[in-house]
Amino acid sequence: MRPILFEGAARRWSLGVALLAALTILLINFAPSITAQDNPRPPHWFWGNDLDSYVGDQVIAINQDGVQVGSTTVESRGEWTVTVSPEDARTVTLRLISNSGTRATDPLDVMDGGFDADGLSISDFRHRISEELGGSDATIAVRIIARRADDGRIEFGMRDPSGAEIFPRARFFPQGGPGHTRWLRSSLIDFGDGFVGRIIARYVDADGRTEFGFRVEGYDDLFPRARFFPASGPDHNRWLRSSEIEIGMPR
């Protein structure tokens, strides 16, 4: 009888080891998801306290893909708070929606546990989105302009729908340029009514020309048909212009 008892005990011991191993594998596989659920990424807090004239109106957050990822109602003392998860957005545009129209901020970065110590004021909602423009679906036609400066650099600017020229603070492309895979960008250009973006440019190694385009948050980069500045000339007094491009509002 002893061999039989020993065999039965051995089988029970083997079964126990197998069950323990299976349980260990399950815990290893599920540990990351359990940890992620127990430790979600902390949200970014956007807030303000001077919207006294907009009590009862709504503030919404739109991410870089045009998806609403947060909203709130302005409280009795003009205070409001919107929390946005970094898992839902890299950047957001906040919109203040009221009977007098919609106002929007520039794109704002979303960070883990982000908190703006000074908050946002009504002046940060500086872009008016008028009903006549059709809201975020509207577009405007603009052109990129460029010339060669005295020091050999290329100076860029924009021509808005009215023909007025706009020059961003960072607007000079270095002589010779970086490698062809590296795009440089200008500082932000504001056309008004919520239309903003940046000029982008790179040096093309193959022929020495400079290729340029326009970047609006939430869209693929836009490239006009005429988008190359020649390797040499013209002199600094002559501006070249691109073909027209249609740009929308950031989303």
60 and 125 inside one domain: yes
Indicate if the pLDDT at residue 48 is higher than 90.
yes
At which of 102, 129, 156 does a domain end? 129
At which of 86, 101, 129 does a domain end? 129
E strand or H helix that includes residue 186? none
Indicate if the pLDDT at residue 143 is higher than 90.
yes
149 and 125 inside one domain: no
3-class secondary structure, 72: strand
What's the predicted TM-score (pTM) here? 0.48
Domain that holds residue 23: 1-39
176 and 203 inside one domain: yes
Beta bridge partners of 84: 44
Looking at residue 3, what is its pLDDT? 46
- Residues 110 and 93 sit within 8 Å (Cβ to Cβ): no
Looking at residue 177, what is its pLDDT? 65
The token pair at 208 is 């020495």
27 and 123 inside one domain: no
52 and 32 inside one domain: no
21 and 54 inside one domain: no
The token pair at 219 is 């869209």
- Residues 166 and 156 sit within 8 Å (Cβ to Cβ): no
125 and 153 inside one domain: no
49 and 125 inside one domain: yes
Indicate if the pLDDT at residue 10 is higher than 50.
no
Indicate if the pLDDT at residue 17 is higher than 60.
no
Number of structural domains the chain divides into: 3
53 and 9 inside one domain: no
Looking at residue 158, what is its pLDDT? 96
145 and 171 inside one domain: yes
121 and 144 inside one domain: no
92 and 167 inside one domain: no
Q: How far apart are CA 43 and CA 113, in angstroms?
A: 5
pLDDT digits (tens, 9 = 90+) for 159-193: 998 889 999 999 999 876 666 568 899 999 998 87
At which of 84, 100, 129 does a domain end? 129
CATH, residue 57: 2.60.40
Nearest to 122 by CA among 43, 188, 59: 59
User: Residue 111, Cα to own-chain centre: how many angstroms?
Assistant: 12
Looking at residue 186, what is its pLDDT? 95
